[in-house]
Amino acid sequence: MSRKYFGTDGVRGPYGSDIMNESFAWRLGAAAARFVLAQGAPAGATVIIGRDTRASGESLEHALAAGLASVGLKPVSTGIVPTPAVSLAVRLEQAVLGVVITASHNPAADNGIKFFGSSGIKLTDEDELRIEQLLPPAAPANGAKKMPATAFLDASSLYKKTVTSLLPMITLKGWKIVLDTANGAACATSRDVLTQLGAELTLIGNQPDGANINAGVGSQHPEKMAAAVKAGGARLGIAHDGDADRCILCDERGEILDGDEILTLLALHALNEDLLAKRTLVVTVQSNLGVDAAIQAAGGRVVRTQVGDRYVIEQMLADGATLGGESSGHVICADVSPTGDGLVAALKVIEVMLATGRPLSELRRGLRKFPQLSAALTVREKKPFDSLKTLPAEIKAIEAELGTKGRVLVRYSGTEPKLRLLVEGPTDAIVLACLNRLKAATRADLEVL
């Protein structure tokens, strides 16, 4: 049975929609409480709740907390904190569940709810399906608007203390860094950690107002960061998304590094130092084939999963790997955190820069990408692939033409009404032609908005 409400990363949708409102948040809180109690959690056990800077976050938090409390759990608020801070707090406080109210990189009009288990790891597909099955039919009249007596936990300080310890104090004295926090959850935490380590910061996306999260800034829009790096002579730029579980970097020349480049850089250094656990890097099917070539040439191996950082984490646990992530900028350094952490990823890269004495523009050369293009087409309806006529046939034709010299990846987004297309091939011209063919085939089968 497939899940109805949960996608790749929790439940997500426009605020005020059928699945993202106070009534549904109350129901989801009650169902999650029933789920953990059925697994043996004691009555009164702690659930830690964090959120990003969206205007709708506080009201949804109150409703979710009321739902949790209605079934006998104790909701504890952290206020506005990065997603990885909630994962850390769950582990340190021995909570039975963690919840983050965020729509990650989506616009401010959206919001979402995602869960972490007691180990600080995101719940599995099976866990989420069980929560859906435990949803009460309705929230009580006005019940979703009543906030229970909720305790507060300073998860921000816990997180900053933990992350700051990754590098010696004042290590970054004399370093100019551009930091773009997407007007999101990491505006204070990433700034404070980097400042405490001695960095001189230029700040972008650090004035959240509830409506400007991810708006032209952050990991989805790194252009301002890149321009500021070049203009100010910074050593690097760091950009997060709204809940700061992603990291996109910029080298001293103003050139952007995506998740594939960050992961390859970290993996190659670890392989060289014989520190990469199981000599394995875990990525998704979205990552460039150049990653495999670079890691294999260095004596390591690459394991691929379906798209979604929690699937990467599950595979890492299965393989005993400690490094993995996605091209989108989710980087999981399991020796520090079992979830994507944008600040930890940046500090790990800085650690390599310090150890080698090489600038980011040189370190990134370890990855030579295959020519690749992608597109995200907004569609009115996500029709099942087996009901489509033109697109599946075009995919097969392109795959036959590319053979072993490229690949095609077509999938629906798990968090947005979009069809994502990706083509890799031997030349830029071939890749562009193939992508245009996929776009045309998509429009023949689906209503593209």
Q: Which three-class secondary structure string do you get for the chain?
A: CCCCCEECCEEEEECCECCECHHHHHHHHHHHHHHHHHCCCCCCCEEEEEECCCCCHHHHHHHHHHHHHHCCCEEEEEEECCHHHHHHHHHHHCCCEEEEECCCCCCCCEEEEEEECCCCCECCHHHHHHHHHCCCCCCCCCHHHCCCCCEECCHHHHHHHHHHCCCCCCCCCCCEEEEECCCCCCCCHHHHHHHHCCCEEEEECCCCCCCCCCCCCCCCCCHHHHHHHHHHCCCEEEECCCCCCECEEECCCCCEECHHHHHHHHHHHHHHCCCCHHHEEEEECCCCHHHHHHHHHCCCEEEEECCCHHHHHHHHHHHCCCEEECCCCEEEECCCCCCCCHHHHHHHHHHHHHHHCCCHHHHHHHCCCCCEEEEEEEECCCCCHHHCCHHHHHHHHHHHHHHHHCEEEEEECCCCCEEEEEEECCCHHHHHHHHHHHHHHHHHHCCEC
Does residue 340 contact residue 332 with C-beta atoms inside 8 Å?
yes
Q: Give the integer Cα–Cα distance in Å for 122 and 332.
A: 12
- Active-site pick, 77, 104, 287, 327: 104
Provide the residue type at 175 as one letter: W
Residue 269's nearest CA partner among 338, 332, 358 is 358
Strand-pairing partners, residue 423, are: 373, 408
Look up 118 and say whether it is catalytic: no
399 CB neighbour count, 10 Å cutoff: 13
Q: Give the integer Cα–Cα distance in Å for 103 and 119.
A: 22
Please list the active-site residues: 104
